Amino acid sequence: MCGIIGAICDDSVNQVLLDGLKRLEYRGYDSAGVTLLNSDGLEIYKFAYLTESIDKLSQVQEVVDSKSKIGLAHTRWATHGIPNDLNAHPHFGCDNRIAIVHNGIIENFRDLRNALKDSGHDFASNTDSEVIAHLLEENLSKLASEKLSVETLLKAFGQTLKLLEGTYAIGVIFADFPDRILVAKNMSPVVIGLGKSGNYVSSDVSAILEQAETFVYLKDLQMASVSKDDLKVYDFDFVQMEFSSTEIAWSYQDAQKSGYETFMLKEMHEEPKAFSETLVGRNVDDPALFFDEIRFDPKDLQNIQKIFLVGCGTSYHSAMVAKYALEHWSRIPVELDIASEFRYRDPVLDSSTLVIGITQSGETIDTLAALDFARKSRAKVLCVTNVVGSSVTSNVDAVMYTRAGPEISVAATKSYISQLSMLLAFSIAMGRTTGGLFKSEAYRFMDELENCTDKIRTALTRESQYRDTAKKFKDVKDFFFIGRHMGYPTSLEAALKLKEISYLHAEGYPAGELKHGPIAVLDDTTAVVGIATKNKLYDKLLSNMEEVRARNARVLVVANDSDSTVSNYFEDVFYVPDTFDLFSPVVDIIPLQFLAYELAIIHNNDVDKPRNLAKTVTVE
């Protein structure tokens, strides 16, 4: 969840590190720190000022004036040890000759720490991460008979990594080796950027897009030695390994606010593009399965008996939309699983099972672990992700990329829309694969899907109406979102969006379920938002809305433009363009994203960096 950035360059690296931290802030912002190597050795400056940590760091004169050509920086999302200056990264070994930054969790840190303490190491923090610096120091000292060289460093680093249990992206610099950054990875992302005037390491490519030209994603259980003009990759036994570079289509500009007040607002406005770009090239030659990377024979999909969809948060909600569409068109039974539960519930998997993992970042540890479990159970495993080269892509049979561009705001908006676009196109193609759809029908649905781009665009032109209506609900503290059929996943996603950025209580419910318990909560202090766009359960949904109104709850509905009667019954309506029911989640969510956004702004919240949350969840 934390963010790491490192640089080794011809010129001073201080600004690259500070700018990079700003771009990584969405990964965690409890604390921030930097280590810079100068002629006096390693200097570390670190602060726990929550959202102002990076600003505080940027005001340190020594950091501002630094001419250091090598350094590492870190932005923290606390797991072990409260956010305070001592627990902030980087961490030193005992003699201040080694500085490390870490993202992940070292699960066996207590045993390692106790053993190191017995050997005389003193610890300055309560973190699991500090153990890495001391262990490396200890292993280096054991190799003291060898002449200290980069080779010795790498051997000691490999030995250290073999003793760590857990997840990590680690960066290390040494006072005695001003020309070297070491990095390693297990289940937490590390990307190495190669540039003209230096090389860079980071947890996220968006932090180094401006400086680097080519990018190398480290694989699990690999370590790398990065100098100003060279990169070498090894396994932990110090055996050199081949690596390949990845092209990144994103530009530095894509990861800027570009005049918008917040990233979330900018990203909502990019939804039509995210949706349509994801479909480019997928509506050709008989709507067919289209994979961006493939390592199996797609004909195998004709024999699939069951499909599991797994994801977390918003990605789980797009999986739910896909379940309805996939079952409808392919007639294959589909199960839906929260990724963090999947492998623990002992699901029945075999070679006739298809498991699809959905993850924007490609780094969510629960989803990675679920897919790893599925692979080991001989299932066919596919992923839908937005990040080229991310961890998920290396351990699956095929990859489908969404093309949303970098999403910086913690709240997923355009990535959700692009996941829907990808998964709905995949569902149509699976309908063709299993014979559930005729070719002409598949074409018709693909065209209809492509038409959603204009509908999203139309919905976005109503931003100010959505905002004005949202304002009327500014004093409400409890929200229920209810929907039926395709309105149900929308209700879940709308509730999640509202919760995470406005900090208000919100729940998504299948509307028919409300009277089985939750209706007891309703009174005039609660609001119920009904997804009342046209589908086969429209009338039933309206009846459910009447039931809640009879309990004095405030009501708001999302309805179609063609619905001329809904305003006779409900005063507050978000209108959206009419959309084929299986595709309606794509359009219906737009006003509800604005509802969440507006209420977050009214409550003075930092919408891009909501409290307690990180964009990429790399811990269980």
Q: Which residues are catalytic?
A: 2, 615
**Considering the complex, what minimum distance in angstroms separates the CB of residue 288 from ligand M6R?**
26
Q: Looking at 68, 139, 206, 359, which residue binds ligand M6R (CB under 6 A)?
A: 359
Site for ligand M6R contains 617 (CB under 6 A): yes
Of 127, 367, 579, 593, the one binding ligand M6R by CB under 6 A: 367
Taking CB under 6 A as the binding criterion, the range among 115-123, 190-198, 240-248, 404-412 that sits at the site for ligand M6R is: 404-412
Task: Find the shortest distance in angstroms from Cβ 585 to ligand M6R.
Answer: 15
Under rule CB under 6 A, residue 511 binds ligand M6R: no
Sign of the alpha-carbon torsion through 15, 19, 24, 26 = positive
Residue 312 in tokens = 């977390």
500 sits near ligand M6R (criterion: CB under 6 A): yes
Q: What stretch of H or E contains 383?
A: strand 380-385
CB of 319 to ligand M6R, least distance (A): 10
551 vs 290, 480, 518, 544, CA distance in Å? Answer: 49, 13, 12, 11
267 lines the binding site for ligand M6R (CB under 6 A): no
- Answer for the pair 617, 340: CB distance below 8 angstroms, yes or no: no
Which residue type does 315 have? Answer: S
Contact positions with ligand M6R (CB under 6 A) in 291-350: 312-315
CA distance 511 to 508: 9
User: Which member of 127, 129, 364, 502 binds ligand M6R (CB under 6 A)?
Assistant: 364
Q: Which is nearer to ligand M6R, 203 or 360 (CB)?
A: 360
Which 477-496 residues touch ligand M6R, going by CB under 6 A?
A: 496
Q: Where are the alpha helices (DSSP H) in 331-438?
A: 339-342, 365-376, 414-434
Residue 30 or 493 having the CB closest to ligand M6R: 493
> What residues pair up with 422 in beta bridges, in sequence order?
none
Q: Closest CB to ligand M6R belongs to which residue?
A: 313
Task: List the one residue out of 586, 483, 491, 578 whose CA is nearest residue 534.
Answer: 578
- Closest approach of Cβ 500 to ligand M6R, in Å? 6
Closer of 103 and 160 to ligand M6R (Cβ): 103
Residue 402 interacts with ligand M6R (CB under 6 A): yes or no: no
Using the minimum distance from each CB to ligand M6R, give the nearer residue, 194 or 492.
492
Beta carbon nearer to ligand M6R, 228 or 343: 343
Q: Provide the 8-state DSSP code for 144.
A: T
Decide if 591 contacts 560 (C-beta within 8 A).
Answer: no
Least spacing, CB of residue 427 vs ligand M6R, in Å: 19
179-217 as b/e: b if 16+ CB within 10 A: bbbbbbbbbbbbbbbbbeebbbbbbbbbbbbbbbeebbb
- Minimum CB separation of residue 168 from ligand M6R in Å reads 19
* Residue 302 CA: distances (Å) to CA of 12, 112, 306, 330, 436: 57, 50, 11, 10, 11
Q: Which of 336, 381, 410, 417 binds ligand M6R (CB under 6 A)?
A: 410
In the Cβ-directed half-sphere of 180, how many Cα atoms lie within 13 Å?
19
CB of 420 to ligand M6R, least distance (A): 13
Give kind and range of the element (H or E) at residue 448: helix 439-460
Residue from 170, 355, 411, 557 in contact with ligand M6R (CB under 6 A): 411
- Per the listing, tokens 């009501």 go with 555
Q: Which residues bind to ligand M6R, rule: CB under 6 A?
A: 312-315, 359-361, 364, 367, 410-412, 496, 500, 616-617
